[in-house]
Amino acid sequence: MKATNFWQALYVKAEKNVKELNLSVDIMKRESAKLLERSALAEKDMKRGRNELVNAGSDIQRLAKSVYKIESQATDLMDGLRQIPGREALKLRAEVGTMASLIQQQRSALDKKILKISELGVSV
| 15-63 tens-digit pLDDT | 999 999 999 999 999 999 999 999 999 999 999 999 999 999 999 999 9
Q: State the pLDDT at residue 71.
A: 94
pLDDT, average across residues 69-90: 94
pLDDT at 98 over 90: yes
pTM of the model: 0.69
pLDDT at 10 over 80: yes
Distance CA 46, CA 101 (A): 37
